[in-house]
């Protein structure tokens, strides 16, 4: 397995070697980075035979023509959400509005979101390589999937279990974003038994005891936000090495949203 880290929010593209070629998970962000990745694979004699998007956010739905015409998969829930969000003539403009202005011109959108939804309840990615288990949940985004490659002892976590980003709750698409996130963490906790490494969608690879530590850290953060407590989370501390200028704002928006919801529901903050 190989990991290619983007400069944009430390995004990770993951390559899994199969018998006929490679599975590419979350291909990347900028055209230059995906071109570099495609050239590296070509130089190594590796062909992309399948792609997978872990969830329906724009930075995980990208592709480049140099990566080839391989089928690209996502969960059924992910694919349904992509179809809804990318419908209409203004879809490209809406996606561009979500991007930081300084990278808009660097991101190719011509192949955005062209994924095939796996049948509902699919347990694995269909390809000629190591068994890749699909672990679907609704934390962070509808139809989110983690991928477990047991043969390699690796859990590809999508946008969870990051060492640099706090849990980002799906505040608009999930009836109970907190409980959905905690339920997903329990599922990942079970899947991680015996895992040697975790690859988050953003941040560094976690190895050994760090796998469990990241699950515990994410759970502690979500529980603190749920209970209207100040989380003692190093990722939003003044000493954080990444995102000090914007991550605390993400936390405040989540905390305020949940507090407002509690007041609307008539439950204690």
Say how far residue 157 (Cα) sits from the centre of its chain: 7
Residues 114 and 136 in one domain: no
Residues 68 and 190 in one domain: no
- What is the gyration radius of the CA atoms in the chain, in angstroms? 18
* Structure confidence by residue, pLDDT tens digits, 210-232: 999 999 999 999 999 999 999 99
Per-residue pLDDT for the chain (269 aa), expressed as one digit of tens each?
999 999 899 999 999 999 999 999 999 999 999 999 999 999 999 999 999 999 999 999 999 999 999 999 999 999 999 999 999 989 999 999 999 999 999 999 999 999 999 999 899 999 999 999 999 999 999 999 999 999 999 999 999 999 999 999 999 877 899 999 999 999 999 999 989 999 999 999 999 999 999 999 999 999 999 999 999 999 999 999 999 999 999 999 999 999 887 665 655 44
Contacts made by residues 216-223, CB under 8 angstroms, sequence distance 24+: 218/160, 218/161, 218/167, 218/181, 218/185, 219/182, 219/185, 221/166, 221/167, 222/167, 222/169, 222/178, 222/181, 222/182, 222/185, 223/182
Which pLDDT score is estimated for 260? 82
Assigned domain for 125 exists? no
Residues 199 and 251 in one domain: yes
**Bridging pattern class, strands 133-137 and 116-117:** unpaired
Residues 251 and 185 in one domain: yes
Residues 179 and 269 in one domain: yes
Cβ-based neighbour number of residue 223 at 10 Å? 15
Cα–Cα distances (Å) from 39 to 33, 52, 129, in that order, read 10, 19, 22
With beta carbons less than 8 A apart as the criterion, state whether 155 and 198 touch: yes
> How many folded domains does the chain comprise?
2
**Domain residue limits at 215:** 130-269
Domain with residue 136: its CATH number is 3.60.15.10
Six-digit token pair at 222?
A: 């979500």
Residues 227 and 252 in one domain: yes
Q: How far apart are CA 100 and CA 33, in angstroms?
A: 17
pTM for this predicted structure: 0.94
Residues 178 and 265 in one domain: yes
Of 100, 120, 140, at which residue does a domain stop?
120
Residues 92 and 165 in one domain: no
* Structure confidence by residue, pLDDT tens digits, 132-145: 999 999 999 999 99
With beta carbons less than 8 A apart as the criterion, state whether 45 and 20 touch: no
Assigned domain for 82 exists? yes
Which pLDDT score is estimated for 265? 61
* Structure confidence by residue, pLDDT tens digits, 165-178: 999 999 987 789 99
Residues 195 and 240 in one domain: yes
Residues 101 and 172 in one domain: no
Which pLDDT score is estimated for 269? 43
Assigned domain for 225 exists? yes
Residues 153 and 264 in one domain: yes
Residues 179 and 266 in one domain: yes
- Which strands sit side by side in the sheet containing 144-149, from one edge to the other? 133-137, 144-149, 154-158, 197-200, 206-207
Assigned domain for 92 exists? yes
User: What is the residue whose two structure tokens read 């419908």?
Assistant: 87
């Amino acid at each position: 397995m190989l990991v290619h880290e983007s400069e944009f929010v430390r995004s990770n593209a993951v390559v899994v070697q199969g018998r006929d070629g490679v599975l590419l998970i979350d291909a990347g962000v900028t055209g230059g980075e995906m071109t570099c990745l495609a050239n590296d694979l070509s130089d190594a004699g590796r062909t992309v035979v399948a792609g997978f998007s872990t969830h329906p956010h724009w930075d995980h739905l990208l592709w480049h023509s140099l990566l080839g015409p391989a089928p690209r998969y996502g969960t059924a829930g992910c694919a349904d959400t992509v179809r809804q969000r990318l419908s209409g003539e203004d879809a490209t403009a809406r996606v561009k509005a979500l991007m930081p202005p300084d990278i808009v011109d660097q991101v190719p959108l011509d192949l955005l979101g062209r994924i095939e939804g796996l049948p509902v309840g699919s347990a694995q990615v269909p390809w000629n390589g190591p068994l890749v288990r699909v672990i679907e949940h609704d934390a962070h985004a509808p139809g989110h999937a983690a991928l477990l490659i047991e043969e390699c002892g690796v859990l590809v976590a999508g946008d969870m279990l990051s060492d640099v980003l706090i849990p980002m709750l799906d505040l608009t698409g999930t009836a109970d974003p907190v409980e959905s996130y905690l339920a997903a963490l329990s599922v990942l906790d079970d899947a991680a038994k015996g895992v040697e490494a975790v690859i988050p969608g953003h941040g560094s690879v976690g190895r050994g005891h760090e796998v469990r530590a990241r699950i515990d850290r994410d759970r502690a953060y979500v529980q603190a936000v749920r209970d209207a407590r100040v989380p003692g989370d190093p990722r939003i501390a003044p000493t954080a090495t990444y995102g000090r200028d914007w991550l605390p704002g993400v936390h405040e928006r989540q905390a305020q949203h949940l507090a407002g919801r509690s007041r609307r529901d008539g439950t204690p903050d």
